[in-house]
Each structure stands twice: as structure tokens, then as C-alpha cells.
Amino acid sequence: MNSNTLFTPIKVGDLKLPNRMIMAPLTRRRAAEGNMPTDLMAEYYRQRASAGLIISEATPISPQAIGYNNLPGIFTQAQLESWKKVTAAVHSNGGRIFMQLWHVGRISHSLFQQGHVLPIAPSAISAGEVITTPEGSKKMEIPRALETGEIAGIVEDYRKASANAKEAGFDGVEIHGANAYLIDQFLHQSSNHRTDEYGGSIENRARFALYIVKAVCDIWSSQRVGIRLSPSNTRNGMDDPDPAGLFGYLIGQLNSFNLAYLHLVEPMMPLDNYPHMIHEVARHFRPLWNGPLITAGNYNYEKGQAVIMEGIADMVAFGRLFIANPDLPERFARQLPLNIPDTDTFYYGGEKGYIDYPKRESVND
């Protein structure tokens, strides 16, 4: 046990965070036409600026990277300018915010793609589920496998999006390598059947992720770059026979970049049919990682305190609790009751369930 708690300041890269309560990246789908951030989004993030660090909702790096309705992008100058309102709002309220960079890969549909072409992926393997499109619910399509020569272009999209995020005033970026999206698809054997230098061995399947990290660190100091991974995710057809070996290798390679943090997601689905998967992700990989570690996965106050005090992680990401409680750190500190999240408004709507959750009025104890 150690003396750190959720309320202990921590240095992450070259930033000093006032607490260890991280606002998890949360897709809310409130962007305007043209994948434009809005004033409503600026207020939403401003309200939650007391988090040690805000990680923005996952943000597509290119038109090809889109797989859901009403997402804010970071691939046009107009989007960049609109994001400036968000970062300014967070900073004016004393907060810090990283942008999460996102490419969905095969978790998309031709209806989202320019020219209605097929989504891309490491291999032509469907995720096997349904997706909500502009024309309603559709079965996932078989994606088009990327040609080897196209991969550099995808990496360049990450580099450009990183530069745009910097110009938009973000304090750093998080690379979304989790939850069955493009980087994760390259990592897992179930979704990557390639025979070139990006497929086959663990080293080859990790190459795409490391290529992206290097490109992003060419734009940002590595001290302002994080990455999110989900070694035990099984949704959307994800599986690998050796997740410990795969992610152990990747994390070992990531150590050489001196990143701001590693963000690990605990299993979000039962693993009864996946006995080879890792049940306690942060506990397993903590000894392999040399820097600050964020853990995410349905934490409450008690579980968050315990994982920090035991030294399993350095910070805890809260999702639903930050949705419903914009002043979550104060509520935790003063042991105040929590608002209950309205799940019906997580991904749709305007102000309701977005910026109308009440803050607890401060009172003298």
C-alpha cells in the first residue's frame, strides 16, 4: 500500500495534474453538420474541468475514419477552429484536455464513407455485428483490406490530425488503440490475417500501432502523448490466442517513447468463453510499464481509491460518473450523493442529459 489517493496531485509527462480522477473519452454524438464541434460541447467540457485530465470524446482523424453519426472531426480547418472554443472553455475553468485520435477501421459502413466505398481494415473480415447508419440499422459489411502501400497514408492522417489538435489548443493527444477499432484490429489475430510486414507475428501486428505513435510524437513531445489499449476486449469479433504476449511486447516497445501515460481498459464483457484472456489487466501489465498508468472499467469511488492505494494504477478514468456529475471530484472529496446517469441520452439529443446535470451547491461543513 502507498499513501497516494484519488486526490493526490501527479506529474504526467510535463503536466502536473491536481488529482488522479480522469474524465474518460466518452462518445456523445452532439456534433453539428460537417462533423463540427459546437458551443454546447464547449459548455459540456467546461463543466467538467475539475477532472485531473479530460480526455475528449474519440475524434475521427479523416472522413474515412468515421463510423457513427454526429461525431466531431479534426480533419478540416473549420473543425479545428470550432475545437478552439472547447479548449478555451476548459482552460478558462482551470482544466486540462487531451484529444483522443480515432480511426474506426471496419466498425463503419459504406453509407458513412465518401463515395459509399467499403470501410477499410487490416483484412477483409467482417466484425459480424450490426451498426447504426444514416439509413438505420445495417449489418456490418466485409471491409476492404488495406494495401501495404496505403498504410503510410493512414499514418499521415494521424500526423495531420495531431498537428490540428495542437493548433486547436489541446494540451496533448491520446491515440485510441482500443475497443476493436483500427489499431486494435491490426493487433488481434482474429482481425488481422495479413501476410506482409503488418501481419503474422506479434512484432508485425504491433508495427502499425508503433508507426502511429512515432508519427504523433514527431508533432508532439512524447510527454504530451498517451495511448489507450484494451487487451481483454472481445467485442466486435476481437480475439487473440496470446494477449499477454501480444500486449506485453507492445507495452515494452512503448516504454522507449517515454509517453505521458498508458491507458488500459479492464474487461467490459464476461470472459467465461475466453479463458486465455487477462481478467485483471492493470494488475497484469503494471510491472511491464515504466510510466504513469491509467485504468478504466466501471470504477466507483471505493474501487478507484483501492486501485490507487494498492499501486496497481496511478490514475483512474471515470466515464458514466463524469457524464452525470460534472463536479465529480468535489462530490468524491466531500462524500456527497451522486446524480444517476440517464442512459437514454448518452448518444443522442441536445442539452438534456448533457449539460443539465446539476452541480452540488457548495455549503460550509
Catalytic residue set: 181
> Would you give the end-to-end CA distance of the chain in angstroms?
30
- Cα 10 from chain centre: 20
Q: Where are the alpha helices (DSSP H) in 220-271?
A: 243-254
Integer Cα distance of 138 and 111 in angstroms: 10
Instruction: Give Cα separations from 294 to 125, 236, 266, 275, 311 (angstroms).
Output: 31, 24, 11, 24, 11
Strands 144-145 and 120-121: parallel
Residue with cell 480533419: 75
Who's near 287: CB < 8 A, 6+ residues apart? none
Integer Cα distance of 62 and 22 in angstroms: 26
